[in-house]
Amino acid sequence: MSELTQNVSRRAAAGDPVALTRALVAIPSVNPVLEDGGAGEKAIAQQCRVWLEAWGFRVRVEEVAPDRFNVIALHRSPSSGASLILNGHLDTVGVQDMASPPFGGEVLDGKVWGRGACDMKGGLALILATARALAHEGHVGELTVALTADEEHASVGMQEFVKGVQ
């Protein structure tokens, strides 16, 4: 692992949103329904699990369709209060014909480049950074992080998550 990769990994584990975005972009999660050979959500779900568990969340990774995964993480405060759900999706569209390296996660001109940087790995990074901050700085009630599969096609991950909430 290069020094740059180690630095990004260390900063991501500390909840830095730019480093989280870069780390997430580097993990292929192309929806396999949209592109042959797409990796799906397994690897990115496992990495999110590692971070969330390190930040004190109780985490489960659920297979919601064959080889398609959600991450559901829960952090309860000792103080009662309202519940908050932070939700985003783990899959991306395909990488065919991309002009830049799809999984580079490089920062150029102040922007992170790669598949999913805008939809939705940058958003996932903000969800994760917020979840970490709330877990460490305190919140009331119950905080749920729901990272779901397959938004780019049929939203099977969100459908399964909603079934569990009802």
pLDDT 10s digits, 56-70: 999 999 999 999 999
Would you place residue 165 in the very low, low, confident or very high pLDDT band (cuts 50, 70, 90)? Answer: confident
pLDDT above 70: percentage of residues in the chain: 97
| CA angle centred on 68, ends 101 and 87, rounded to 5° | 80
- Asked if 43 and 28 touch (Cβ cutoff 8 Å), the reply is yes
Would you place residue 140 in the very low, low, confident or very high pLDDT band (cuts 50, 70, 90)? Answer: very high
Q: Is the pTM of this model over 0.85?
A: yes
Q: What is the pLDDT of residue 4?
A: 58
Is it true that the peptide bond before 120 is cis, omega within 30 degrees of 0? yes
Closest to 119 measured CA to CA, from 9, 4, 31, 38: 31
Residue 1 has pLDDT above 70, yes or no: no
- Asked if 131 and 52 touch (Cβ cutoff 8 Å), the reply is yes
Q: What is the pLDDT of residue 83?
A: 93
Find the mean pLDDT for residues 160-166. 87
What is the pLDDT of the chain when averaged over all its residues? 95
Q: Which run of H or of E encompasses 42? A: helix 42-54
Calpha distance 90→23 (Å, rounded): 13
The catalytic residue positions are: 91, 151
Calpha distance 87→94 (Å, rounded): 22
Find the mean pLDDT for residues 130-151. 97
Residue 5 has pLDDT above 70, yes or no: yes
Which residues contact residue 36 at a Cβ distance below 8 angstroms, ignoring those fewer than 6 apart? none
pLDDT 10s digits, 21-77: 999 999 999 999 999 999 999 999 999 999 999 999 999 999 999 999 999 999 999
Residue 94 has pLDDT above 80, yes or no: yes
Would you place residue 116 in the very low, low, confident or very high pLDDT band (cuts 50, 70, 90)? Answer: very high
